[in-house]
Amino acid sequence: MSGDVFTSWAIREALAEEMRRDESVILLGEDIAEYGGAFKVTEGLLAEFGPDRVINTPISENGFVGVAVGAAMCGLRPVVEIMFMDFVTLAMDQLVNHAAKFHFIYGTPIPMVLRLPAGAGRGYGATHSQTLDSWFISVPGLKVVAPWSAADAKGLLKTAVRDDNPVVFIEHKLLYPKKGPVPDGDYTVPFGRASIVREGTDLTIVAYSKMVDEALVAADALAEAGACAEVIDLRSLHPLDDVMLAESVAKTGRAVLVEEGVRQGGVMAEVACRIMESAFDYLEAPIMRVGSGFAPVPCAESLERALLPSAANVLAAARAVLGR
């Protein structure tokens, strides 16, 4: 695979490559076999790998995530697709109390990946549109990643499959059709390293997943007004890249932090604290956070749009931090 490809294709290719490389990699989830998954990410994998490795499950998230934990304990490397991130609520006991803790309790690795299609923007309503990323970063034993680019989606997923710890892999639904260059060959992207997607000197904008798009639009608008914003894509939510965050803020002196989830108790609340601890002396203005309003995601397009953070919100926060 080379050139610009859809993010969904990049994820599928990562799964296929890892399944070819390691026969212990199996897939589980609702309608992932013949149907190819709700978002067609696993389409075609059944034909190549068969029903013993691409396994349809009942509509029972707590059941099949529990099966994945047991399979991981017994030497397999399950990759579980939860149809919508919202439904992970039904499997929190298996994920938080079993998968995340068994390594500490029993000394056994739990090499499993939980793929979570997340985010709003399609009018799916309150129970199919949530961004629950912040729930997982405070759980010892879980690693959490959320790619923005197609290349990172492939590279991070391959890293996740090879990891001996449980990984929460967050895929924004609106990024599946997004195209981008993906390198040929076997490559991985390490956890704990953010990416500078735009260099800048006047302001640091930190985002991840779909919000990187909004951050880049805001950065373009700032450039037209004579301000040079640096845009950082976190990629890895736990572990975080504390070094890059500190270095960027030390350079620019200002920071705006953007996420799709609600601001209260969000991922960026943790990022803001890390920046305060490591780069407080370099800050020339208070850190500002941008996120969704504190309400369930509505179905109506106009209400959903009003609730979600946008490039306009990022731009307004940046101007406030810059004093312009």
Q: Which of 17, 18, 98, 128 is catalytic?
A: 128
Per-residue b or e along 276-309, where b marks 16 or more CB atoms closer than 10 Å to that residue's CB: eebbeebbeeebbbbbbeeeebbeeeeebeebbb
Q: Do domains 4-181 and 195-322 have the same CATH topology?
A: yes
Assigned CATH for 4-181 = 3.40.50.970
Q: Which two structure tokens, joined as six digits, stand for 13? A: 């290719």
Residue 225 CA to residue 164 CA, distance in Å, equals 47
pLDDT tens per residue, range 52-101: 999 999 999 999 999 999 999 999 999 999 999 999 999 999 999 999 99
Q: What is the pLDDT of residue 2?
A: 54
Residue in 17, 30, 61, 171 annotated catalytic:
61
Residue that the structure tokens 């993906």 belong to: 182
Q: Which residues does residue 231 pair with via DSSP β-bridges, in sequence order?
A: 198, 205
- Whole-number average pLDDT of the chain: 97
- Decide: residue 78, CB within 10 A, 0-12 exposed, 13-18 middle, 19+ buried: buried
What's the pLDDT score for residue 185?
86
Band of residue 168 on the pLDDT scale cut at 50, 70, 90: very high
Residues 287-299: what's their mean pLDDT? 96
Between CA 50 and CA 159 the distance in angstroms is 24
Residue 116 DSSP label: E
List 284's β-bridge partners, or say none: none
- Residue 324, pLDDT > 90, answer no
Q: Taking 60 as the threshold, does the pLDDT of residue 1 lie above it? A: no
Amino acid sitting at position 216: L
Provide mean pLDDT across the span 248-252: 98
Q: Which helix (H) or strand (E) holds 198?
A: strand 195-198
Q: What percent of the chain has pLDDT over 90?
A: 98
CATH topology of domain 195-322: Rossmann fold (3.40.50)
**Does residue 61 have an active-site annotation?**
yes
34 is catalytic: no
pLDDT digits (tens, 9 = 90+) for 14-57: 999 999 999 999 999 999 999 999 999 999 999 999 999 999 99
Domain definitions of the chain by residue range: 4-181, 195-322
More confidently predicted of 314 and 185: 314
Q: In this structure, what DSSP letter does residue 255 have?
A: E
pLDDT digit string (tens) for 171-224? 999 999 999 999 988 999 999 999 999 999 999 999 999 999 999 999 999 999
Alpha-carbon gap, residue 135 to 131, rounded angstroms: 9
CB-CB contact of 57 with 64 (8 Å): yes
Cα 224 to Cα 296: distance, rounded to the nearest angstrom: 35
